[in-house]
Amino acid sequence: MRQSSELFFVSSNNHKFTEAQRILSNLGLEISLFKTTLEEIQSNSLSEIAKRKALDAYSKVQKPVIIEDDGLFIDSLDGFPGPYSSYVYDTIGNKGIMSLLEKIELRTAKFVAIIAYCNGDDDVQLFESSILGKISLSIEDGGWGYDPIFIPDGESKTYANVSDKDKFSHRSASLKKFSDWFMHTQLDSGL
């Protein structure tokens, strides 16, 4: 059963929306894009960043919204870039990350994604997932963001080149948690 709800994915990133739309559609939930730039506070907490973004998104849309925030945490760099992943990607990119790891053998990392939902009150719901992996030795072609350098555990290729990223990505897992909660909430409220 398709849930028809006025639910907006708020982001300036078309790639994130396309991925979220595909995943949620497969789970029976439809979303629309509200494209805008959101306030991104500087914080060591992805949860705090996501919560503030969700509140900002709701203030702009005035309808139920979800936002997604994520971070790449590299063990040998003490979790860098972590919550600063977007800024780091925009400034030094994958080449910069590869330069930082040039002489480092330990390349373990994790990707964390948080989906934040807000429907107008200050009680933002957060749905977090992570996936373990490592940073590749070279930048692969394809994908977007850090996809060309992150190899999830159990795979030999980066996110950019795996056969079905949606099956095991950090974003997919967080969207599934959100979808399960949202559908259950909709049923409970009789919508």
Residue 83 has a CB neighbour count (10 Å cut-off) of 25
What's the per-residue H, E or C state across 81-115? Answer: EECCHHHHHHHCHHHHHHHHCCCCCCCEEEEEEEE
Catalytic residue at 69? yes
* Residues paired with 133 in a beta bridge: 109, 152
Name the catalytic one among 56, 69, 70, 147. 69
Residue 111 has a CB neighbour count (10 Å cut-off) of 24
Catalytically annotated residues = 69
